[in-house]
Amino acid sequence: MRPGDVLSIQRSLETGMQHHDAGRLAQAEASYQEVLRAHPGHPDALALLADIAHRTGHLAEAVARLREAIRQRSSVAPLQHKLGLVLADAGELDAAIAAQRAAVRLKADYADAWFQLGNLLALQRRHAEAIPAYRRAVVAQPRFAAAHNNLALALEAEGRWDEALVAYRTALAVEDARDIRANVARYLTSAPRVPADAATRELVARAVAQAWLRPADLARLAAGLVCVHPGLSPAIQRAQEPWPADVAASGLLTPDVVRICNAEPLLGALLTHAQASDRALERFLECARRALLELVGDDAGLARASEALPFACALARQCFLNDYVFSTTPGEEARVERLQGDVGDAIEEATLSPASLAVLACYVPLGAVRGIAAARAHPWPEPLRALLVQQVDEPAQEAREREALASLTPITAKVSRQVRDQYEENPYPRWTRLPDAAPLPLDLYLRVLFPAAMLPPRGTIADRDILVAGCGTGQESLDLAHQFPASRILAVDLSRASLGYAARKTREAGVRNVEHAQADLVELASCGRTFDLISCMGVLHHLADPMAGWKALASVLRPGGFMQVGLYSERARRAISAARAMIALEGFTPSAADIRRCRGRMLADPAWDGVTQLRDFHGLNECRDLLFHVQEHTTSWPRVGEAVAQAGLRFVGVAAPPPLAHAFAQRFPAASPADLACWDELESENPDAFAGMYLFWVQKPAA
């Protein structure tokens, strides 16, 4: 080849790469084709054309061009690596693994190729083989955060929990990234044990305060770590007298205990962001509340209570979050009544102490306190200002949001009206923060969730119009809004109180693609709207006729559209069913007083530990939903299959947490994720496997 030809080829390549980097792919392709005309089989031009084909979805062309480039230049490891990436996207996992192995044979310290090899092996659930690949990646590139993270995932899948925690900590130290934080938090909640040391408390405190997962999902872990805190454990143990015996205030809140309660980040994060889902911690907080109430009864005690102001404010926020679920004694109630009058008088006289207001907020929401508007404008300490926002400003905003809500359908059915009334009185659940969700197209999301499922071709799954049928207080609709930011979301519920909460949280998050409206889902067909995706989590089992709900939702789901559903398992709810039978037998009503009495009865009896240890037991609204719901059905996997078929839908798969998905794969290695008989058999062997709900996806056949 003449020197001039070499220079011409180089100029064409450089021109093409400039277009390529700028996203002008058609111009780049033209330049590379010039090179091939001058030098057929030029490996660089072939590789660059393969990249364009890959980007534009022409995977077969990309594979062909890369294989031709490799024939021309077989010793170049990046070409094998790129071939492996394209083959993986084409679903040819075995060939992709072979290509990545070829890349690392050519370049032993090729971190990206080792990383992708590990990913491919993990995708095939060959975690034991993936682990050494990830280790080679981090040896080659020690600050490779994603490789440390994926190494931890593989170690976790193999049950090597201690090694996984080391890898997660390393990943987090290298890069404080959203995905890594979420994996660390999920690990902490699923590991059979975690260290009960200060470093772990600090890690969990960050996870709760920053919502690495939903704070409620971290609450049990956080409460357990608080209970074994060396400085708090003696006081917590002291509070564990036979229920509901009194524990004297004197001696419980010692100066050392107050200092720790004021300053311990994990306790503060838990009290302000989630319900303290632990019997021992609840008992301590209940006694600490009583101790503070006793202290504000005189001037000497008020000084001691003032020293505990940060803790008192955090405790008041906890009591608001759990809707004042803690039990009270008659003497306590009389003290609260006097304190409420004293606080109202002090507001009028401008003599109010911050501690008195904070302690009152542990028993009564401040929005109901006489003269609170006048007190609201005072320059209070920061913990008290945050408390006033929670108990005065936010409820006022929710009331305004409720007034602005549209009503899409009538609510006439008896059970629908009863369910509506329950959630008007007790909106469910009360929450503070959600994890940041990375935008991910529904197409890719489903492929990650169900890699072995039969899904439509890539690029054909729509997520433009989404219905959240029964949005409650808005967690699900906000999650979907963050995940699918270009979508239009309609979030409906029976309860205006729940919708007001959801609308306030949506506005607070700056989210604009969610519309809230009151509606009965069985009447939605009358709205004349259809959807690409429907989310119906924990709703169908509260209908008088769940099958009618299935059919109503199927009627507004577009052909080819998907629906995610959550339903209660009959096996997993057996303890709840027994509790509901006891409640009916003993005549407990769903009033706040009776819910507290019922909880006291159950907390005193170890036979109910299977219920009292549930997260929802530790909030009044949540406990009503758990044990006192006006309408509840449970189901089984065979009945789920029947309902899906009757609704004219196709079962896609179970959205199981990783440990359960791993157990399924080990128990039934050749089974489809949509094999309900296998899921039923797995549940029969592990009756608590679906203690939350069955979570699964279905699809409406294309027209």
The predicted-structure confidence for 658-703, as pLDDT tens digits, reads as follows: 778 878 988 999 888 899 999 999 999 999 999 999 999 999 998 7
What pLDDT is stored for residue 321 in this prediction? 97
* 570 vs 575: CA distance, rounded Å: 10
> 356 with 343: CB under 8 angstroms?
yes
What does the buried/exposed string (b/e) look like for 54-88 if buried means 16 or more CB atoms within 10 Å of the residue's CB? beeebbebbbebbebbbeeeeebbebbbbbbbbbb
Longest dimension (CA), the chain: 102
pLDDT: is 111 or 442 the higher one?
111
What would the 3-class secondary structure string for 153-216 be?
Answer: HHHHHCCCHHHHHHHHHHHHHHCCCHHHHHHHHHHHHHCCCCCCCHHHHHHHHHHHHCCCCCHH
Q: Which of the two residues, 38 and 302, has the higher pLDDT score? A: 302
Q: Are 179 and 171 in contact (CB under 8 A)?
A: no
Query: What does pTM read for this prediction?
Result: 0.89
The answer to whether residue 296 scores a pLDDT higher than 70 is yes
Distance CA 283, CA 274 (A): 16
User: What local confidence, expressed as pLDDT, does residue 244 receive?
Assistant: 46
568-580 per-position pLDDT tens digit: 999 999 999 999 9
Q: What pLDDT is attached to residue 52?
A: 86
Give residue-wise pLDDT tens across range 131-168: 999 999 999 999 999 999 999 999 998 999 999 999 99
The model's confidence at residue 1, banded by pLDDT at 50, 70 and 90, is very low
- Which stretch of 45-49, 147-151, 210-214, 617-621 has the lowest confidence by average pLDDT? 45-49
**What's the CA gap between 90 and 679, in Å, rounded?**
29
pLDDT band at 247; cut points 50, 70, 90: low
User: What is the per-residue pLDDT for 6?
Assistant: 60
Res. 246 pLDDT band, cuts 50 70 90: low
Which of the residue ranges 71-85, 294-308, 550-564 has the most confident prediction, judged by mean pLDDT? 550-564
Q: What is the pLDDT of residues 462-498, one digit of tens each?
A: 779 999 999 999 999 999 999 999 999 999 999 999 9
Q: What pLDDT does 152 receive?
A: 98
Set out the domains of the chain in order of their start, with CATH numbers.
3-189 (1.25.40.10), 206-401 (no CATH), 414-571+634-699 (3.40.50.150), 574-627 (no CATH)
Residue 228's H or E segment, with its range, is none
Residues 167-188 have pLDDT tens digits of 999 999 999 999 999 999 999 9
Does the structure show a pLDDT above 60 at 522? yes
pLDDT tens figures, 344-368: 999 999 999 999 999 999 999 999 9
Q: What percent of the chain has pLDDT over 90?
A: 78
pLDDT band at 250 (very low <50, low <70, confident <90, very high): low
* The dihedral sign for the CA sequence 166, 170, 171, 175: positive
Percentage with pLDDT > 70 across the chain: 97
Mean pLDDT to the nearest integer, 200-204: 97
- Please state, in angstroms and rounded to a whole number, the distance separating the CA atoms of residues 78 and 102: 10
Query: What was the pLDDT predicted at 243?
Result: 46
Q: In what order do the strands lie in the sheet with 488-493?
A: 406-407, 514-518, 488-493, 465-469, 531-537, 557-567, 694-699, 650-654
Helix, strand, coil content of the chain in percent (nearest 5):
60, 5, 30
Tens-digit pLDDT profile for residues 63-89: 998 898 888 888 899 999 999 999 998
Q: For the segment 262-273, what is each residue's pLDDT rounded down to a tens digit?
A: 999 999 999 999
Over residues 306-312, mean pLDDT:
97
Q: What would the mean pLDDT of 400-414 be, rounded to a whole number?
A: 96
Question: What is the predicted pLDDT for the residue at 7?
Answer: 65
> For the CA atoms of 198, 201, 207, 208, what is the dihedral angle to 10 degrees?
-140
Is the predicted pLDDT of residue 239 greater than 70, yes or no? yes
Check the CA dihedral 423-424-426-428 and report its sign. positive
